[in-house]
Structure 1
Amino acid sequence: MAKTPKAKPKLATPTDLQSNQVSNVTDALNAILADSYALYLKTKNFHWHVSGPHFRDYHLMLDEQATQILGTTDQIAERVRKTGGTTLRSIGHIARLQSIKDNDAEFVSAGDMLRELREDNLQLVEKLREAKDIVDEAKDNATSGILDEWTDLAEQRAWFLFEASQGV
């Protein structure tokens, strides 16, 4: 007697979003999550390796920014799950989705660090705005509101990085 294969369990989170909307929201948020992890690690890399006359100020600012970025990652992943999607599972998954470029250089000047992170944060702002359109189309009001908060945080980081990089 042949055994019938057991169905794989599914994560069946209840949602009122249509399946195509769940997919669109999930894709947008997972891309933001991948970029957030890439930006977090790059910010920590620069925090660890910054040097120069403004070391203490930059070191502390980059640590605060990294902590802020990491703090959003769980919220992003939980929004994906609340809307019925699944989220990132590995470093490889992050690497496949991230659009923010890594920086593996042995030395980066403090000014170049600040300018690069400013541009990366502005790139994240663009992704957040694109996601806002997607979640608004899906009538996902909760995600829409949180995207506003994440956008404001990324804009603030970009502003601080811009101001700190003047004359460096």
Structure 2
Amino acid sequence: MSTQEHGSVLQEAGDVESNELRIDEEKSEQIIDALNTDLAATYTLYHQLRKHHWNVEGPEFRDLHLFLGDAAENAEDFADELAERAQALGGVPHASMVTLDEKSPVEAEDEDVYDIRTSLGKDLEMYGDIIETLRDHIALVQDLGDHTTAEILRDNLVQVEEDAHHIEHYLEDDSLKQ
């Protein structure tokens, strides 16, 4: 248990303050909620990709190990962008593991280690769910007039789709084996 003394709270989680971006608090609240959902999903993906990066075995170990490490870094970078944008809009980004787990629209894999095909299949399914959510959130924030957040989400959607597409290739049958 931590013995750290708590200082005064500057902003409570869930509160939205005014921002200098000239997006009103009601709209900001909806956008921050979407960003926090994406943040929770992205951290779930990040941890699953790291798990698979650590545990991958087999003849394609090196390529998969490197790819999964890069994909996890992409997710970590995206999470940082999401959190910083939520804060810029006057919100508090989700940060505790408990909150991230509770708010994530995707479910993390359990602690067991699976063969890499099974693991990649689970990753691909999670990517698909995140892609659908990102598309919905792009439409939402665009409708609310937040073109910058829409652009941030669009740019990251490109990377998320690219990483998902790479996983599709890894899951294809190997036509060179007989």
Aligned to 1:21: 27
Aligned to 1:135: 141
CA shift, 1:14, in A, is 2.6
CA contact (8 A) 2:56 2:116 kept: yes
CA shift, 1:116, in A, is 1.2
The 3-state SS of whatever aligns with 2:19 is coil
CA distance in 2, matches of 1:99, 1:108: 22
Alignment of 1:1-168 (within 5 A): 9-10=10-11, 12-167=18-173
Q: How many residues align?
A: 162
CA shift, 1:106, in A, is 2.0
CA contact (8 A) 1:15 1:84 kept: no
The 3-state SS of whatever aligns with 2:75 is helix
- What are structure 1's unaligned runs of at least 5 residues? 1-7
CA contact (8 A) 1:122 1:154 kept: no
AA aligned to 2:146 is: D
CA distance in 2, matches of 1:90, 1:157: 26
* TM-score, normalised by the number of residues in structure 2: 0.85
- Deviation track 1:36-68 (CA, whole Å, cap 9, x = no partner) reads 100000000011111112111111110110011
Closer/same/farther in 2, CA of residues 160 and 92 from structure 1, 3 Å limit: same
CA contact (8 A) 2:27 2:144 kept: yes
CA contact (8 A) 2:29 2:91 kept: yes
AA aligned to 2:25 is: S
CA contact (8 A) 1:31 1:97 kept: yes
AA aligned to 1:32 is: D
CA shift, 1:158, in A, is 0.6
* Root-mean-square deviation over aligned CA pairs: 1.7
CA distance in 2, matches of 1:76, 1:130: 15
CA shift, 1:9, in A, is 4.6
CA distance in 2, matches of 1:27, 1:126: 16
CA shift, 1:105, in A, is 4.2
CA contact (8 A) 2:18 2:25 kept: no
CA distance in 1, matches of 2:18, 2:67: 41
CA distance in 2, matches of 1:103, 1:71: 21
CA contact (8 A) 1:43 1:63 kept: yes
